[in-house]
Amino acid sequence: MAAEPGRLPADLPADAGRRLAELERGLFTSDLSVNEFLLVKEAGFHPLGFVMGSSIYHIGLQARRWGRSQELTKLTSAMYEARELAMNRMEEEADALGADGVVGVRLDVNYYEFGSDAAEFIAMGTAIRAEDGRSYRNVAGKPFTSDLSGQAFWTLLRVGHVPLGLVMGTCVYHIAHRGLSQSLSQLGRNVELPNYTQALYDARELAMTRMQDEANRLEASGVVEVKLVEKSHTWGSHTIEFLALGTAVAAAPGAPPPPTPQSVISLDL
Amino acid sequence: MTEPSRTARTGAWSSALSTNDFAATRAMGLQPLAFVQGCSVVSWGFLGAGAPGARGYYEQFPCPHGFVSADHRLYGYNYEQTWLEEAWFGGLRAAYDRLLDEARRYEAHGVIGVSARVERLAAPPAVEFSLSGTAVALEGSAAPGAPFTTFLAGQKLRKLVEAGFAPVAIAVGFASVGVLASCVTEYQLRGVGTVTYGAAPVGEIDQLVRAHTQARALARERVRDQLGGDVLHAARLVVREVEAAGGPQVEAELRGNRVRRFKDVEPLPPPRPVVRLVDR
């Protein structure tokens, strides 16, 4: 259900209320390109407004053992929760506009000089609503979110699928240092380092599994455009965040069979 | 390696395919099953090197000046770094086998849109080989024992099949040639000469050109060995120079798709004008 006009969730700033009120009067803003706008309209949706959510989060410390590979669960929780807060606020803005979904969602992390352990997590995208009045909200009753472009959104609908939500899984992992005896025994040799291999493998699997769990909670049939992003942020080379991100989709009930794609030979350079 | 916790054919599938590639994949009757990966971290060392030229390509470039002084190099040489090549292939093979193992657990017919990443890790002197792709199954048929693999996905894969070729496996060749510069090569690389021997000769840097040529030829030869009578499609050759302690190293990497003809050639459809709605 959309939020009542004029009533804004408590965690959104007052300025957001004024901006959203202007959007409700008919003007829309969006970061869609002209081509994306054209295809979103062609798909039967109308852009309502550019929506965003932000969270400045203090990322604490967690002790790690020099010689042991392990997940840093507190950091994992922090990175997940901060993104989730930003995403929720973006969804609340979309909800206040009565949107069915948000397309072209971008998730960014920024670090500022005013706080060495603090980071700003931002989610932004364009809220859209179906022109035929049909609801595209997901099983949680929220507007769907998706990092698909306007073109990809149009294509997805054409092949009989609908987006349900932007799903993510994260894992902050500390990869053990080699001990002295291990380093000496492997000095100069070309050998596999099984502890490193296993650590990277496990961390990616954890991130992927969590992303798929989110998709299952949305009763999705699949996740498209999965990206696996690895970043050390400010923790040094042995601590890495693995972030799996994709758009959960489901087959649309009663959708016509997908058109057969035709091969074209592009004459572009 | 422990098995991944994601289980086969339960819940939502995942795929690294773009939406366009997903649409084309579904139109071909292929169902995405899972995002699959394989990785291997290999220590990058010097042991096993032996004397330059003990194995593989070796070529000398003598000094034209004769003996001048003890610090004047009498000859330079190019040498194939077979121990690095073996480590490279070992790491890639381990990652590839793990990718296939995952695909088999999902009862996949193949892995499409394979992405191969070779990255030097900062902390230990090591290299990570990481392969990932989307495991797919052909609807209505049993899984083969050995899934096919291809770098292609979506429209490109569809065009390949339309042209009568089926993907077999990815093919990757790698060669590394070390260069210990002769005096002339060194002058040419620095762009200066000496008072005694004159300016650096203007023209081709013969020793470096030979290193590049040999690295390319070796990488190509290795891919040809993997083809087994099939065809290489959509190949990409990358040659780079890496600065190392002993001098430059020339690395050549050739990646392509091993494909096999399964039906006769059909004429391509006539070109049609299209309006592209893709942002540049």
pLDDT in tens, A131-155: 999 999 999 999 999 999 999 999 9
pLDDT in tens, B117-158: 998 876 657 889 999 999 999 988 887 878 999 999 988 898
Domain tally, chain A:
1
Measured in angstroms, the CA of B137 and the nearest CA of chain A are apart by 14
Residues 6+ apart with CB under 8 A from A139: A164, A218, A219
Neighbours of B74 (CB within 10 A): 14
Domain containing residue A202: 18-251
Contact B63, B73 (CB under 8 A): yes
Q: What is the interface pTM, i.e. ipTM, of the complex?
A: 0.76
Chain B contact present for A180, CB below 8 A = no
Contact (CB<8Å) B124/A226: no
In A118-255, the DSSP E strands lie at 118-130, 144-145, 161-174, 222-231, 239-251
Q: How far apart are CA A42 and CA A38, in angstroms?
A: 6
pTM of the model: 0.82
Residues 6+ apart with CB under 8 A from A137: A100, A101, A143, A144
A residues 12-51 lying closer than 8 A (beta carbon) to B: 33, 35-36, 38-39
What confidence tier does A190 reach under pLDDT thresholds 50, 70, 90?
confident
Closest CA in chain B for residue A195: B41
Chain B contact present for A176, CB below 8 A = no
What share of chain A in percent tops pLDDT 90? Answer: 51
Beta bridge pairs of residue B260: B166
Chain B contact present for A148, CB below 8 A = yes
Q: Name the residue ranges covered by the structural domains of chain B.
A: 19-261
Query: Which among A193, A222, A268 has CB closest to B32?
Result: A222
The CATH number given to whatever domain includes residue A177 is 3.30.110.70
Q: With CA atoms as reference, report the closest residue to A95 among A124, A137, A36, A55.
A: A137
Chain B contact present for A192, CB below 8 A = yes
In CATH terms, the superfamily for domain B19-261 is Hypothetical protein apc22750. Chain B (3.30.110.70)
pLDDT in tens, B79-101: 999 988 999 999 999 999 999 99
Mean pLDDT of chain A: 86
Q: How far apart are CA A159 and CA B23, in angstroms?
A: 6
From chain A, pick out residues whose CB is under 8 angstroms from the CB of B125. none
Q: Which helix (H) or strand (E) holds B259?
A: strand B247-261
Contact B269, A264 (CB under 8 A): no
What pLDDT is recorded for position B190?
Answer: 79
Q: Which helix (H) or strand (E) holds B233?
A: strand B231-244
Contact (CB<8Å) B42/A266: no
Q: How far apart are CA B85 and CA A254, in angstroms?
A: 55
Residues (pLDDT < 50) of chain B are 8-9
From chain A, pick out residues whose CB is under 8 angstroms from the CB of B42. 190-193
